[in-house]
Chains A and B, each alone.
Chain A
């Protein structure tokens, strides 16, 4: 077993399964590069998940339930004013005016979505624990944390798994521009960053209020006024392409927001979307709609370039230019190098990856190949600290057969400070050790390691042999000694899982 084998399995993979380091050691580079290919079929745990259409319709049905309940309580859901009484609704769910048991928005929400979320997180976990292409899976997780759709936003909770399957997985080894386009068109992103009802003030709908109510209010159960929402435009520039402080201005953001008006979720006039979806009259592709009547007409200038195209072509042209901008190349190169090599990535690697990105017009397979071939990538010093999710997954890979009940899994992630699919904001989860190494987070990992070891250890288990197997030559002498001297297999296993070399990569 070589140190390079451990690094390939641990730093670029998801931690070694028993026997993996030995196998990878034969050709660590070849093992990694061989994973840079599209997947032949969706991993089995993911095939069982609900479709995108099902995810979307669950959300719209829930919205509809709230609206109906508001009406039943004599309120117009579209005209609720700040500070208005919420008798019979809201958190407490107390009795309403008619004396029947109250309706709780939050209870309804939890009932509808938490089970779906738990199943999706478990499927992501099962996929990662089982995979023989852990580098590919790491890249999936990386990009899902780059093009962020977070279930932390009320209503978006069902959507990230579909987004990951539709947008991320097919494009991980493809072109960056394709992933960006797929992301910006996906209903989950259009919803998460609010673009689906951003309306050009001078568009047909913008100028004629009578067109608005039948158009969307019924479908989305939200009131419509005409105007821009610049959320998606800003975050595409700041978080997904150019990066913050790369030179764009407020005017660029506003101009791009105008370009993206009309990029929405399909909702034919006067027919509630959820009903169409429920009746199977829409498919996932059909959920994106460019609505010319909501699109701000006329040319827009962004980063000094004027886009005179009409319709959806205008937005696609801007996205293509953003995707191949040098600032984007540098931003993506930095994030990839930070993710895999060091919190403070070596500038030489960043420059190298950015060059490849530009030369290949954003070919992600070429960029990742350059990453793996960088000498810095195999530096013996383990400078990355596993995120909570990767920590849990790597432990499960080292311990085949470890049971993972979905509720327990969620509680484990939550206690260590990370909820897969639900980062607090569109910038995703932090990717530096300082964020994950606070006293409480370290303690919670230890508690989890202890509980996990207790649940699986038996007197036939040899924790020291397992440590050698999955950590190879990265296992330090003090850790090996501590495990060897443990008073029980469970304690030895706890020490292995909590050891610095198991937590760092």
Chain B
């Protein structure tokens, strides 16, 4: 699919494409969607401990959570998810537990590939589900999708034009050099030309953001996402990622990256909400990891790669304040392959529920977003009417 902007880029180079910025109307949708990937397999039972499950203490032995923030009779939140608790109490957070993609092996990289490509196989397709969802949305003048990232994640790759942005500390090159390079790319290298034009647009919008970089910058990236999503003719869908969840060792300790990461995630969502201001009411945030981890502690006070885990749907547009879980339990016979939390909720049911009721995608579009052998039934009622 060649978008109007791509055509412009090919004919006139980035100069024309840059000028197009002011000429076109805003995107048709006012809804905002943010997808956060937690790379490395978040331990769902640490983020959302099932403290009320009669088997919990025994099953988790050394990892049973103290000081969990109670949600209902069965579930609580990790103490570092203070902001999440606030959202939950304000009916702006849904916790989904025992959730998984269709992936059933335990490779991070296959698991992430499948989570991002949206098919039922790692490397099943070479585009991302979020990009296919974007292709089904009414387009504006500029890319509807932005990855807050210095490289383009698979989830966002595909036919729909998307852009990316991350903060910079270098001096801005002069406009004349920018123009000359845009023309050179326009003449010789369409792929570079497209990326270069998109970057110029993103830079125009992100003025004032700066510094940082890398995974530690998650909170800043979420604040930047709010800025992009707030621009009248800006992006409507943003993707942000936070890595470092692979807690094989000593995960419960006060120094553990897991505890720190949960805090960072909490602060990042808070920064997004603050940055969006009143637009938060129009926003849905989907937070998901490639798979969960073993229920029992491993030999090194951590957990190994597992299957089902927890995910979150947050935002002012969300009908929150509840836990969605067809809870399989933690008794030995309830576990998947005698070790993992059993998957009972399909991630795709949640994602399609949000895409349908929040972003207005119809059934045919959803089938292309998540090509499946058995039809995915979108989860009803995730979004406020």
Residues in A lying within 8 Å of B, measured CB to CB? 66, 80-84, 86, 89-91, 105, 152, 154, 194, 197-199, 201, 222-223, 225-231, 234, 238-239, 244-245, 250, 253, 411, 414-417, 419, 424-425, 427, 430, 434-444, 446-448, 450-451, 476, 478-479, 482, 486-487, 491, 494-495, 498-500, 503
- Taking a contact as CB atoms under 8 Å apart, the answer to whether B300 and A229 are in contact is yes
B22 to chain A, nearest CB (A): 19
Max chain B Cβ within 10 angstroms of own Cβ: one of A228, A442, A447, A482: A442
- Taking a contact as CB atoms under 8 Å apart, the answer to whether A434 and B152 are in contact is yes
Is B116 part of the contact surface with A, judged by Cβ < 8 Å?
no
- Taking a contact as CB atoms under 8 Å apart, the answer to whether B180 and A80 are in contact is no
Q: List 12 A-B contacts (CB under 8 A).
A: A81-B66, A152-B215, A197-B249, A222-B250, A229-B298, A437-B191, A439-B163, A440-B150, A440-B165, A442-B195, A482-B184, A500-B192
Number of A-B contacts (CB under 8 A): 232
- Taking a contact as CB atoms under 8 Å apart, the answer to whether A440 and B214 are in contact is no
Task: Find chain B residues with CB under 8 A from A245 CB.
Answer: 105, 110, 122
Residues in B lying within 8 Å of A, measured CB to CB? 39-40, 46, 62-63, 65-68, 78-80, 105-110, 122, 147, 149-152, 157, 163-166, 168-173, 176-178, 180-181, 183-185, 187-189, 191-192, 194-200, 202-203, 213-215, 243-244, 246, 248-250, 252-255, 257, 259-260, 297-302, 304-305, 337
Q: Provide the bound-state CA to CA distance between A505 and B184, in Å.
A: 18
Nearest 10 CB-CB pairs, A to B? A227-B299, A438-B152, A417-B150, A443-B199, A439-B198, A450-B173, A83-B67, A439-B199, A500-B189, A83-B79
Task: Find chain A residues with CB under 8 A from B252 CB.
Answer: 80-82
Q: Provide the bound-state CA to CA distance between A20 and B198, in Å.
A: 36
Known contacts A244-B110, A500-B192; A436 and B254 CB within 8 A of each other: no
Task: Find chain B residues with CB under 8 A from A83 CB.
Answer: 65-68, 78-80, 259
Task: Find chain B residues with CB under 8 A from A250 CB.
Answer: 106, 337
Task: Find chain A residues with CB under 8 A from B257 CB.
Answer: 154
Q: Provide the bound-state CA to CA distance between A66 and B178, in Å.
A: 49
- Taking a contact as CB atoms under 8 Å apart, the answer to whether A438 and B250 are in contact is no
Question: Closest chain A residue to B161 by CB distance?
Answer: A439
Q: Provide the bound-state CA to CA distance between A419 and B163, in Å.
A: 22
Known contacts A82-B259, A83-B79, A443-B203; A438 and B151 CB within 8 A of each other: yes
Known contacts A225-B301, A250-B337; A434 and B184 CB within 8 A of each other: no
Question: Closest chain A residue to B297 by CB distance?
Answer: A225
A264 to chain B, nearest CB (A): 12
- Taking a contact as CB atoms under 8 Å apart, the answer to whether B147 and A225 are in contact is no
- Taking a contact as CB atoms under 8 Å apart, the answer to whether B304 and A491 are in contact is no
Task: Find chain B residues with CB under 8 A from A414 CB.
Answer: 213-214
- Taking a contact as CB atoms under 8 Å apart, the answer to whether A80 and B299 are in contact is no
Task: Find chain B residues with CB under 8 A from A425 CB.
Answer: 39-40, 108-109, 243, 246
Task: Find chain A residues with CB under 8 A from B147 CB.
Answer: 438, 440
- Taking a contact as CB atoms under 8 Å apart, the answer to whether B300 and A479 are in contact is no
- Contact residue among B110, B177, B253, B255 (Cβ-Cβ distance under 8 Å from A494): B177
Task: Find chain A residues with CB under 8 A from B166 CB.
Answer: 415, 417, 440, 444
Q: Provide the bound-state CA to CA distance between A316 and B183, in Å.
A: 58
Task: Find chain B residues with CB under 8 A from A424 CB.
Answer: 39, 215, 243-244
Question: Closest chain B residue to A499 by CB distance?
Answer: B184
Q: Provide the bound-state CA to CA distance between A173 and B228, in Å.
A: 49
Q: Provide the bound-state CA to CA distance between A486 and B170, in Å.
A: 22
- Contact residue among B157, B194, B200, B298 (Cβ-Cβ distance under 8 Å from A228): B298
- Contact residue among A198, A439, A482 (Cβ-Cβ distance under 8 Å from B164): A439
- Taking a contact as CB atoms under 8 Å apart, the answer to whether B170 and A229 are in contact is no
B253 to chain A, nearest CB (A): 5
Q: Provide the bound-state CA to CA distance between A265 and B192, in Å.
A: 47
Known contacts A238-B107, A451-B170, A500-B188; A438 and B213 CB within 8 A of each other: no
Known contacts A229-B304, A439-B199; A66 and B255 CB within 8 A of each other: yes
